[in-house]
Amino acid sequence: MLASQAGEALGLCLIEPQWTGSDEFDPRQRVWMLQALRPFRQRLVNRGLPFLVWSDAALEALTRIHAVWPFDTLVSHEETGPGWSWTRDKAIAAWCAARSVRWQEFAQTGVVRRLKDRRGWAARWEARMTEPQQAAPVRYRSPSIALPEDWIHRTRQALAIEAPDADLSRQSTDLVSGEAAASQRLERFLKADAQGYRSKLSSPLTAAEHCSRLSAHLAFGTVSMRTVYQTARVAMGQTGDAALRRDLASFASRLRWHCHFMQKLEDEPAIEFRNFMRACDGLRDGDESGSGRPLDAAARVRLEAWQAGMTGYPMVDACMRSLNATGWLNFRMRAMLVSFAAYHLWLHWRAPGLHLARQFLDFEPGIHWSQMQMQSGTTGINTLRIYSPAKQAADQDPAGEFIRHWIPEWGTRAYPAPIVNEREALERAKAVMYGLRKQQQTRAEADQIQQRHGSRRSGLPSSQSRSGPRRTRPAEKPLVQGSKAEGAPAQSPSAQSPLQGELF
């Protein structure tokens, strides 16, 4: 809207080398972005807004444009992104200040920039999500200069980028990029697929149909959080089906969780690289913080087997192979993959997290790194959730349909034996983690983390059970998902906080 009111305006989208060269990047993420960008760009051009798409670093691109067309205002969305984006934004701020360019950023999620206290966060989220939406501008004013041929050539080159190994046609028809596809998917979900959402989002057999599948659209901005939330609320008010209304209410509440976890990275960017609770530094293989140690040869073997879906645990391997092939996996199975890497394989969350970031078409840094730590037990304020792969298979894939689809060699000599002894691995993990949580210094640090990041003041669902003790108590027993461990409060799937794909 601000661009349409300016005397002249020019659109710019950058495919930054910091992104494509990062450890989180996969070519199919760029394919998804470009498939959405091409029709979007054309609509803006038709409304009088020239729109450049460059494979370039932000400062270099802005400097090149400013030298030819000395703009005085820069408009963008706020981004809660990975570390390289924070460094870039600081450099852009300095660049703008040096040239008297006004940089105005607009919020696109419920994340609050420069938040000092979590109290009142949920009310602010609700207020932002219920603000009236503005109609798209009908017309823009193009720059008075003729765009240099080099600018047009760069745009053609960037838009022509494809990746032969990132063919999105391998994925389900629900994973189609673009604003039109997002709108169609949202409508279909709210009118039909949301029926049974709460009970069907945990199994990989039913989640693909009954989750919204909007996570990639939200991550890349082809639909806004405000649009999804407001449309869901309207659908809740219009339906006469009480069960569907409850499903939609559950979905709407998870949209708040989406932003709640992003807020953690916004408030503490270092959690992308180091543990929330520093008392956990150096515990696991691959944790190089503090007195930690890099991955040795044995740990590397475990990591690579997990990445390839060759651990000898069928449910784990089927989920990993499915994710590697399609770019999407439902929440509970994502949580199981992380839990298995953390507790069974005793791997620090950073290396597994980078692999998952590359596989997730809906990779959202704030949710991703917060949840990698939560499911690995390094936040200090959440119950240790240890998933039993066998119990998850029995609960979520009782006939073995999902496993057989992704592991055709299951039951033959071609399928590997278990890479670790589960009983021995879990006894070791529990001894270390619960021994650590009994220490007074650790409990004090957990209280500080809760004060800064906990949801109790945000208006979101509490991080304590309805009947159990506060989850930071070190005396608690682990919750083994799928079966109730001694002393652990039972939890339904809807009571668990989301691992990125849970909402979608």
Question: DSSP characters for 3-36?
Answer: TTTSSS--EEEE--HHHHTSTT--HHHHHHHHHH
Chain center to CA of 363: 4
- Contact call for residues 400 and 393 (beta carbons, < 8 A): yes
Instruction: Give the per-residue pLDDT at 390.
Output: 97
Mean pLDDT, to the nearest integer, of 371-375?
A: 95
The amino acid at 352: P
Q: Is 205 helix (H, G, I), strand (E, B) or coil?
A: coil
- Contact call for residues 492 and 484 (beta carbons, < 8 A): no
Mean pLDDT, to the nearest integer, of 322-338?
A: 96
Quote the CA–CA distance of 373 and 433 in Å, as a whole number: 13
> 201 with 123, same domain?
no
Query: Please, which residues bridge with residue 51 across strands?
Result: 11
Which tens digits make up the pLDDT trace of 63-115? 999 999 999 999 999 999 999 999 999 999 999 999 999 999 999 999 999 99
Q: Is residue 4 part of a domain?
A: no
Other beta carbons within 10 Å of 13: 18
Is the sign of the CA dihedral 358, 364, 368, 369 positive or negative? positive
Quote the CA–CA distance of 415 and 315 in Å, as a whole number: 13
Instruction: Give the per-residue pLDDT at 491.
Output: 31
Using CA atoms, how far residue 265 sits from 80, 112, 115, 302, 342, in Å, is 7, 11, 12, 28, 21
> 260 with 295, same domain?
no
Listed in sequence order, the residues at least 6 apart from 270 whose beta carbon sits closer than 8 Å to its beta carbon are: none
Q: Is residue 39 part of a domain?
A: yes
CATH number of the domain bearing residue 180: 1.25.40.80
Model-wide pTM > 0.85: yes
Residue that wins the pLDDT comparison between 472 and 32: 32
> 324 with 406, same domain?
yes
Q: How confident is the model at residue 480 (pLDDT cuts 50, 70, 90)?
A: very low
- Contact call for residues 362 and 174 (beta carbons, < 8 A): no
> 136 with 54, same domain?
yes
Task: Check whether 170 has a pLDDT greater than 80.
Answer: no
Which tens digits make up the pLDDT trace of 174-227? 578 999 999 999 999 999 999 999 999 999 999 999 999 999 999 999 999 999
Structurally, the chain folds into a number of domains equal to 3
Closest to 361 measured CA to CA, from 158, 180, 163, 203: 163
Other beta carbons within 10 Å of 400: 16
* Domain containing residue 292: 269-503
Task: Check whether 253 has a pLDDT greater than 50.
Answer: yes
Instruction: Give the per-residue pLDDT at 498.
Output: 42
Which tens digits make up the pLDDT trace of 53-74? 999 999 999 999 999 999 999 9
> 286 with 434, same domain?
yes
Instruction: Give the per-residue pLDDT at 1.
Output: 65
